């Protein structure tokens, strides 16, 4: 399980099967448009994909952090 935590109470939950490159791209687009601003993204997956890497980088750019467990 991995969680991207940013400083408010909005949350978006995805299962590993839902975390595709297309989903990641849409999340990046939404975040850049402040539609999901400072959200908390929780991802449960056994295999962190390249798409998640992009989300991790985005979250860190926004001042959040990523926990992988």
Q: 18-49 pLDDT, tens per residue?
A: 556 666 666 666 666 555 544 455 554 444 45
> Is the pLDDT reported for residue 51 higher than 50?
yes
Look at residue 45 in the predicted model and tell me its pLDDT: 45
CB 53, CB 23: distance < 8 Å: no
Answer with the residue of higher pLDDT: 53 or 9.
53
């Amino acid at each position: 399980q991995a969680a991207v935590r940013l400083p408010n109470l909005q949350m978006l939950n995805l299962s590993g099967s839902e975390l595709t490159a297309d989903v990641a791209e849409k999340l990046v687009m939404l975040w850049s448009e402040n539609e999901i601003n400072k959200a908390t993204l929780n991802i449960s997956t056994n295999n962190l994909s390249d798409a998640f890497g992009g989300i991790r980088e985005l979250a860190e750019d926004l001042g959040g952090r990523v926990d992988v467990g």
